């Protein structure tokens, strides 16, 4: 079962809500038990949200590497490829964030 803090939205897994919310500190009476349907959305999207976050992390790594490559400035085609990789990584990162934001808006998080 999932319990949701009605103050901040924190999700707790278990039959009972925690004594205090780990995020906002309000007491357990602020928690409600999610319906099976709402809980299923959260369980179903758990792994895909993690994958999106991992892809975002990888895109951030590409951005960092590409910046380093641009700074080395070996030759124009090389610099152009790094700039392109940097821009593509930005798109991957922002696309992933937008997808996660869409999931959250639909209760899938």
Please give the residue ranges that form the binding site for Zn ion (CB under 5 A). 5, 7-8, 10, 21, 23-24
| Consecutive H or E run containing 89 | helix 76-105
Gap between the Cα atoms of 57 and 73, Å rounded: 25
The long-range contacts involving 84-91, CB below 8 angstroms and separated by at least 24 positions, are: 86/62, 88/62, 89/59, 89/60, 89/62, 89/63, 90/59, 90/63
CB of 4 to Zn ion, least distance (A): 9
- Comparison of 23 and 106: residue with beta carbon closer to Zn ion: 23
- Comparison of 10 and 82: residue with beta carbon closer to Zn ion: 10
- Comparison of 26 and 90: residue with beta carbon closer to Zn ion: 26
SS3 category, 75: coil
Hunting for tokens 């593509």 — which residue is that?
A: 88
CB of 38 to Zn ion, least distance (A): 17
CB of 5 to Zn ion, least distance (A): 3
- Comparison of 14 and 76: residue with beta carbon closer to Zn ion: 14
CB of 109 to Zn ion, least distance (A): 15
């Amino acid at each position: 079962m999932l319990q949701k803090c009605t103050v901040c939205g924190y999700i707790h897994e278990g039959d009972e809500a925690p004594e205090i919310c780990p995020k906002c500190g309000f007491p357990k009476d602020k928690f409600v038990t999610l319906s099976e349907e709402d809980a299923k959305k959260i369980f179903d999207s758990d792994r895909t949200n993690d994958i999106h976050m991992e892809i975002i992390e990888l895109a951030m790594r590409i951005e960092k590497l590409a910046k380093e490559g641009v700074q080395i400035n070996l030759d124009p085609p090389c610099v152009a490829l790094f700039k392109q990789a940097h821009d593509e990584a930005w798109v991957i990162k922002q696309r992933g964030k937008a997808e996660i934001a869409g999931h959250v808006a639909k209760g899938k998080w």
